[in-house]
A and B are shown apart, each in its own frame.
Chain A
Amino acid sequence: MSTGPSDSEIISLVLKGDHNAYALLVERYKSYVFTLTLRFIKSREDAEEVSQDIFVKAYRSLADFKGTAKFSTWLYTIVNTTCITFLRKKRLDIRSLDDEKTFEVADNQDSGFRANQVEQKSRLNMVNQAIALLSPDDAEIITLFYKNEQSLEEIGQILGLEVNTAKVRLHRARTRLKEKMERYFTEEVKDL
C-alpha cells in the first residue's frame, strides 16, 4: 500500500519525539479515514472535521498502540467509535435510505445529485453513489473490505464481531448494494 518507512518505524519516531513524522501517517491514511468517515457522516465538512479529530485522538493515544494488530486496524477502530459517538451527539438520522420516499427526499435535498449522475456517468462514480445510499453499517463494512484492505478477521476486530458474523454482514451488504444499483442506477447498470 505504501513505500517509505513502515507504520511501526514512523510510530517509534513519533514516540521518540519526532512529532513531524506523524504527518507521514496522516498522509498515508487520510483518504482511507475520510472515506470511511464519510460513510457515516454524509456531510463532507463534518466528515473532514471528524477525520481530523480521529487523527488527533490517534496521536494522543499512540503510546497505547501495542503493535499486536496493524496500525490501520487500530486506527479504524478509532474511526468506528468516534463516528458513532458523533452521530449520537448530533442525533443524526442514521436510517438507511431504504424506501423510495426517503430516496426522493435525499434526491431533492441534493439537487445536483441527478445532474451529477448524468455528467459523471462513470462506473466508479456510480458505485460510490450507491454505497452512499446504504446504511452506515453496510457502507462501513464494504469500505473496510474493499477500500481499506482489511481482512474479515481485522473487520471483526474493528467492529467487535465474530469473523463469521462479519462475513455474513459483508455478504448482505453487498447484496443490498447490488439491489441499490439495480434500483437507482438501472440505465447505468444496463450500460455495463
Chain B
Amino acid sequence: MKENINTPLGDGGIDDRLWEFIDGQSSIEEGSAIEKLIETNKQWKEKYHELLELHQLVQASALEEPSLRFTKNVMEEIAKYQIAPAAKNYINNKIIWGIGIFFITLIIGFLIYGFGQVDWNAGSDNKLPIDISKVDYGKFFNNTYVNVFMMVNVVLGLMLLDRYLAAKKKKLQKEA
C-alpha cells in the first residue's frame, strides 16, 4: 500500500517535531518551545532521549567496505573505455529545432488538407435546433465577454511569464 505522505505520524506529531529539532531544522522559536517542553514534560523528555539515542547510533554506525581489489577492478574496467563527450556537445540545438519545425509543419499541413477536404454543405439538409446563419455573434462579443476573455488571457500570460522568470532566476542562482 502506498503511504500517504500528508498524514501525520503515529505520535501526533511529537516525533516529527523532535526529529526536526534533532536535525537542527526547527526555527528558533520552535526550537526554544521544544527545549522548554523537553525540560518540563516527561513524555517529551523520554521521547527526545529515545530519538536522540537512535540518531546518535545511526550516525556512528560504520560504512560497509567492499573488497580490497575494488579500486583496482574499477581502474582495469575503465581502461577499456573512453569518457563520452558531454551530451551538450553532440546534441545540436539546430537539429532539435529542425525536428520541431518539421512536425509542426506536418501537423499544419494535415489540418489544411483535412479542412480542404471537408464538404461544408454536406450536412446542410439536417435541421439543427438553431439556424447557425441567424446567430447574432455580436451578442457574444459584447464588452463583458471580451473583457472576461482578455482578462483570462492576461492572467495566463502573467503566470507563464512568472514561471519563465522564476526558472531563469533559479538558473542564475545555480550558476552563481
A and B associate in one complex = yes
Q: Chain A interface (Cβ within 8 Å of chain B)?
A: 14-15, 19-20, 22-23, 26-27, 30-32, 34-35, 38, 47-48, 51-52, 55-56, 59-64, 68, 123-124, 126-128, 131, 142, 146-147, 152, 165, 167-172, 174-175, 177-178, 181, 192
For residue B64, CB closer than 8 A to chain A, the reply is yes
The residue of chain A having its C-beta at the shortest distance from the C-beta of B70 within the complex is: A30
Interface positions of B from 38 to 56, Cβ below 8 Å from A: 50-51, 53-55
Residues on the A chain within 8 Å of B62, using CB: 124, 128
Smallest CB gap from A51: residue in B: B66
Query: Chain B residue with minimal CB distance to A69?
Result: B174
- The distance in angstroms between the C-alpha atoms of A48 and B175, with both chains bound, is 35
Residue in A closest to B63 when the chains form the complex, CB atoms:
A31
Is there an interface contact between A59 and B64, defined as CB atoms closer than 8 Å?
no
B81 and A165 within 8 A (CB): no
Q: Which chain A residues border B87 with CB–CB below 8 Å?
A: 64
Interface string of B60-89 (1 = CB under 8 A from A): 111111110011011101110111111101
B15 cross-chain contacts in A, Cβ below 8 A: 171, 175
Q: Which among A68, A131, A171 has the greatest number of chain B C-beta atoms within 10 A?
A: A171
Residues of B within 8 A of A60 (CB): 78, 81-84
Q: How far is the CB of A144 from chain B (nearest CB, A)?
A: 12
Closest 6 CB pairs of A and B: A63-B86, A127-B61, A31-B63, A34-B66, A35-B64, A124-B61
Which of A15, A20, A123 has a CB less than 8 Å from the CB of B57?
Answer: A123
Instruction: Say whether chain B's binding surface is mostly helix, strand, loop, or mixed.
Output: helix
Do A52 and B5 touch (CB < 8 A)? no
The CA-CA distance from A128 to B60 in the complex, in Å, is 10
Contact between chains at B84 and A63 (CB < 8 Å): yes
Contact with A along B27-41 (1 / 0, CB 8 A): 000000000000000
Return chain A residues, CB-CB under 8 Å to B70: 26, 30, 34, 48, 51-52
Contact sample, A vs B, 15 pairs, CB 8 Å cutoff: A27-B71, A34-B63, A35-B63, A48-B67, A52-B74, A59-B83, A60-B78, A63-B84, A63-B89, A127-B61, A168-B5, A171-B19, A175-B9, A181-B54, A192-B57
Complex contacts, A62 vs chain B, CB 8 Å:
83
Check if B83 sits within 8 Å of A63, measured CB to CB. yes
* Contact partner, B59, options A30, A146, A167, Cβ 8 Å: A146
Contact at B9–A128, with CB atoms within 8 Å? no
Q: How far is the CA of A19 from the CA of B54 in the complex (A)?
A: 42
Contacting pair B71 A23 (CB below 8 A) = yes
Q: Are A23 and B75 also in contact (CB < 8 A) when A168-B5, A177-B54 are?
A: yes
**B64–A34 contact, CB under 8 A?**
yes
Contact B66 A174 (CB under 8 A): no
* B55 to chain A: closest residue by CB: A174
Judged by a CB distance under 8 angstroms, whether B130 is at the interface is no
Docked Cα-Cα span, A64 to B88, in Å, equals 8
Q: Would you call A48 and B66 a contact (CB within 8 A)? A: yes
Distance (Å) between the CB of B132 and the closest chain A CB? 50
Question: Once the chains are docked, how many angstroms separate the CA of A64 from the CA of B89?
Answer: 10
Bits for B1-25, please: 1 = Cβ < 8 Å to A, else 0: 0010100011000011001100001
